[in-house]
Structure 1
């Protein structure tokens, strides 16, 4: 059995001027520092999925490419903003199109927004992921008024202040990721 878990960090926003790459790169680096993860940062903007993903889209090279990356993952961190008390449409389309790719894998969240740090988006996602047979971990990271956390370079001014929250979530992803990977290798999942 491979030692490291494959962790896909998914940037859920595709809007122009989005903040998502900043927390995605930060949590990817925290996962590398934590150890035990091979990290793949999946930017839905770069994936260039077709505007209308349907069953007929499965042969599209971008749809196949993202499918392979999601299949390879043992665990996920979804980085999402909160738009109008929920999450972005592009993220919903990506979740809905893929099925087996999500099955029996843990999902953690890094959210960002105003006074609740994107947690309303996370609560909606917690209702969606069980429908694709994925498990969401308890601990999340919510970046409240995220723009106040940035230094002049556009990066987190005090990343060490967020490190404890990252460690907790990554610990849960490690436990569930290993347990579910072992189960997938031993027994076929009944859908």
Structure 2
């Protein structure tokens, strides 16, 4: 009899202790503070890099720097006045370049980088290089000062360029092959 009574008590306790399932409450709510902090941090970084670039430009009395609407600065080492052709979407360009610190300490030499071919806006290169090549004419050599967000950004290049490093790059555009002539050559 004790066993039956004990069994009934356990069953009754189990039934009365069970509750209907309740939905889980969120652990925390997103306030957006991380994003706001990230924006402030990036604004400070950009301002610091632009100040540094501005100081370099002010000290350099030899070159005439141009401020790009894309957020970087450049000057011509070799400027071609007669030709007006600049690369456009899909054009194949052949170029050589180097990468150094803003102060000019080499990171990658032209020899290390080698000659390169690139289809405008159809391959993966860093943002500043993509935009800089579009400003150039065949035969020109231009030196660019890129803030880190136009260079390799937060991740760097995972080799020699660290995170958030602004760079100087001197680029020579050797040849532009228009995409129309590329299409014609592929059809023949």
TM-score by length of 2: 0.27
- With structure 1 as the length reference, what TM-score do the two structures score? 0.27
- The structure number with the bigger radius of gyration is 2
